[in-house]
Structure 1
C-alpha cells in the first residue's frame, strides 16, 4: 500500500469499517515468490466470515476528463498484465481458499449521482468512492491487450458489466454469495 494513494487509503478504511482483518502490503520493494520476483499485491484481507482475499487496487476517476477535456463516461477497467499474473500467483501461493481480486476504486466526480441504495458507495476524506471488484481468474479469462507497448490489458464493456461486483460481494461468506448487478459500475458506460 502506498500511504499517499487516496484510492488505497479509502479501500483500507472501507475494509476496516466492515471489520475485516487487513494487512496493507508495503510496495517499496519487489517480493520474491519461488525463484523469481513478482509484483506485490496491495492488501491481504480476511473478512469477518472468513473470506480470504489477495487484492490489487486500481484507482480510477469517474467521470474523469478525456484528452480533449470532455467527461469520460466509461468505467475504466484497465491494468498492467503483470498485475493480473502476479495476483494469480499470490492467490495460488497463499492457497487455503484465498481469492485474487482486482479492486476498482472509482473516485466519483461531484456531478455524478448514482441511484439511491447503490452498494459500496463510500465517503472518505471528503470524496465519494464506488468500490467494485472482479475475481482475477475471471479478469484473466476475459482480458484483452490494451497497449502492447505499456503492457496494459482491459476487459470489453459487456464482459466487465457481467463480471464486476460490489466489493462487499467478495467479503461475504462463500456459501452466502449471491450474484448481484454492478448497480452503477456498468449502467453509465457507453
Structure 2
C-alpha cells in the first residue's frame, strides 16, 4: 500500500471499518513467487465472514477526463495484464480459498448523485468513493487488450456491467462456507 495514494488509504479505512483483518503490502520492492519476480498485491484481506482475498486497488476518478480535458462519463476499468496474472498467482500460492480481486475505487465528483442506498459508497477525508470489484478469474476470462505497448487490458462495457460487484460482495462468506452453514442448520 502506498500511504500517499488516497484510493488505497480509503480502501484500507473501508476494510477496517467493516472489521476485516487487513495486511497492506509495502510495494517498495518486487516480490518473488518461487524463483519468479512478480508484482505485489496491495492488500491481503480476511473478512469477518472468512472470505480470503488478495487485492489490487485501481483508483479512478468519475467522471474522468478524456482528450482535450473533456469530461468522460465512463467507469474506467483498465489495468495492466501483469496485475491480473499476479493476483491469480498470489491467490493460488496462498491457497485454501484465497481469491484475487481487482478493486476499482472511484473518486466521485461532488455533483454525482447515486441512487439512494447504493452499496459501498464510502465518505472518507472529504471525498466520496464508490468501491467496486471484479474477480481476477472473471476479469482474465473477459479481458481485451487496450494497449499492447503499455501492456494494459480492459473489459468491454457490457462485460464490466455483468461482472462488477460492490466490494462488500467479496467480503461475504465464500459460497462453500454458506452451503456448509446451511447444511449444518438444516441437517
Place the TM-score, normalised by the shorter chain, in its bin. Answer: over 0.9
Larger radius of gyration: 2
The answer as to whether partners of 1:64 and 1:109 remain within 8 angstroms in 2 is no
> Which residue of 2 is the match for residue 6 of structure 1?
6
SS of residue in 1 equivalent to 2:69: coil
Tell which deviates more after alignment, 152-161 or 60-69: 60-69
SS of residue in 1 equivalent to 2:7: helix
Answer 1 or 2: which has greater helix percent.
Answer: 2
> Which residue of 2 is the match for residue 25 of structure 1?
25
RMSD: 1.0
**Runs of 4+, deviation exceeding 4 Å:** none
Deviation at 1:10, TM superposition (A): 0.3
Question: Is residue 166 from structure 1 mapped to residue 166 from structure 2 by the alignment?
Answer: yes
For residues 9-64 of structure 1, what are the alpha-carbon distances to aligned partners after superposition, in whole Å with 9 as ceiling and x for unaligned? Answer: 00000000000000000000000101110000000000001000000000000002
> Which residue of 1 is the match for residue 98 of structure 2?
98
CA–CA separation in structure 2 for the residues paired with 1:36 and 1:75: 33
> Which residue of 1 is the match for residue 52 of structure 2?
52
Deviation at 1:174, TM superposition (A): 1.8
TM-score by length of 1: 0.91
TM-score by length of 2: 0.93
